[in-house]
Amino acid sequence: MWRFIFGRLLQAVPVIFIVITATFFLVRAAPGGPFDAEKAVIPEVKAALERQYRLDLPLHEQYFAYLGDLVQGDLGPSFKYPGRSINELIESGLPVTAELGAYALLIALIIGGLSGILAALRPNTLQDYIPMSMAMIGICMPTFLLGPLLVLFFGIELDWLPVSGWGDIPGDKIMPSITLGAAYAAYVARLSRAGMLEVLSQDYIRTARAKGLPEWQVVIKHGLRGGMLPVVAFLGPAFAGLLAGSFVVETIFQIPGLGRFYVQAAFNRDYTMILGTTVFLSTLIVLFNLLSDIVAAWLNPRLRAQLSE
């Protein structure tokens, strides 16, 4: 098992290195720079700015200087927000995005998992059709539609929940979490239904029922462990996707997360921010994929046996 983890971590290093290098040179190849503005910048001012951000050095020297800083954990100063470092900006946005992602995932697991299991218990009845058609709608409905609809209904018509913010007014975390979680809940529902259906038709489930176990024990103790495997495999990439993809939800609800920095950095040509967020998120994605592989192995005795050989 340890060898498996160590090997995967070792594989991750070149992947991340390639991501850094490709990002570094691609953003520089894009036309326009961080100091281009609608009002022309005086050449002397631009030169002073470029000196302050080391942009006056040859490109390869900038690249090695950046790598040197990165190794020491320094992601550099922000272009867009003078006086702030990328580290500071990521530190301010990450807890919010992570919290939002965690709630969304929790919602996805509870609602998606429950409806998937319910559907699998009575396939091809109403108890199957209703949650599954809702899941289909959930998958098809983009967040930029669901978010405003929820806001319109619960925020403005009923006036139950605040329409924006994060941690400012009680209850303002509910709608963003549901909006972000809905699409994932739908996926989880379909995956858990498929997983459970397969497991529930297996011999050992029939054995469990035959020996007279109560149904809830059969489902939860024997069924879930195998039936949830597809969901677990989906979770790692899903969480990383939530972190990177929360941009839309963060914009709709004015949430001070990482997603807004990530997307706006590209428009602003905020070189250090583009690099910082890309490096950070790609590292997270690699880690979460690894984590979900480990959990899958832990849940699946056959895989576990293979790995410990």
Partner 1 sequence: MLVAQDTKKRKASVVQSMMRALVAVCLVSLTACMGGESKVEQGNREGVLHYGNGSEPQGLDPHVVTGVPENKIIRTLFEGLAVKNPYTLEPEPGVAESWDISDDGKKIVFHINPKARWSNGDPVTAHDYVWSWRRALDPNMGNQYAYMLYPLLNAEAYATGTLDDAEQLGVKAADDLTLVVTLNAPTPYFIQLMDHYSTFAVHPDTVSKFGGATDRFTPWTRVGNMVSNGPFVLTEWKLNRYIRLEKNPLYWNADNVKLNAVMFYPTENLTSEERMFRAGQLHYTNEVPLEKIPVYQGIDNSPFVQAPYLGTYYYLLNTQKAPVDDVRVRKALSMAVDRETLVNTVLQNAYVPAYSITPPDTLGYFPPKTFGYDPDRARQLLAEAGYPDGKNWPGLELTYNTSENHRKVAVAIQQMWKDVLNIEVSLANQEWKVYLDSVNQMNFQIARRGWIGDYVDANNFLDLFITEGGNNNTGYTDPVYDEIILREAPNATAREQRYALFRQAETMLMEEMPIIPIYTYTSKHLIHPSVKGMPSNLMDSLNIRYVWLDPTETLKAE
* Contact footprint for partner 1 (CB under 8 A): 30-33, 35-42, 44-46, 48-49, 51-52, 77, 80-84, 89, 92-93, 110-111, 114, 118, 121-122, 127, 148, 151-152, 155-156, 159-166, 168-171, 174, 209, 214-216, 219, 251-257, 260, 267-269
End-to-end CA distance of the chain: 9
State the minimum distance, in angstroms, from the CB of residue 157 to partner 1: 10
Hunting for tokens 């967040």 — which residue is that?
143
Rounded CA separation 27/267 (Å): 11
Task: Find the shortest distance in angstroms from Cβ 42 to partner 1.
Answer: 6
Please answer whether residues 104 and 181 qualify as being in contact, where contact means their C-beta atoms are separated by less than 8 angstroms.
Answer: yes
User: What minimum distance in Å lies between the beta carbon of 265 and partner 1?
Assistant: 12
DSSP secondary structure code for residue 219 in this structure: I
Minimal distance, residue 193 CB to partner 1, in Å: 15
Q: Which is nearer to partner 1, 11 or 84 (CB)?
A: 84
**Of 239 and 253, which has the nearer Cβ to partner 1?**
253
| 132/285 with CB nearer partner 1 | 132
To partner 1, the closest distance from the beta carbon of 71 in angstroms equals 21
Give yes or no for a contact between 112 and 186, defined as CB atoms under 8 angstroms apart.
Answer: yes
How crowded is residue 42: how many other Cβ atoms within 10 Å of its Cβ?
A: 9
22 in helix, strand or coil? helix
Alpha carbon distance 77, 261 (integer Å)? 14
Nearer to partner 1, 249 or 294 (CB): 249
Residue pointed to by tokens 């953003």:
27
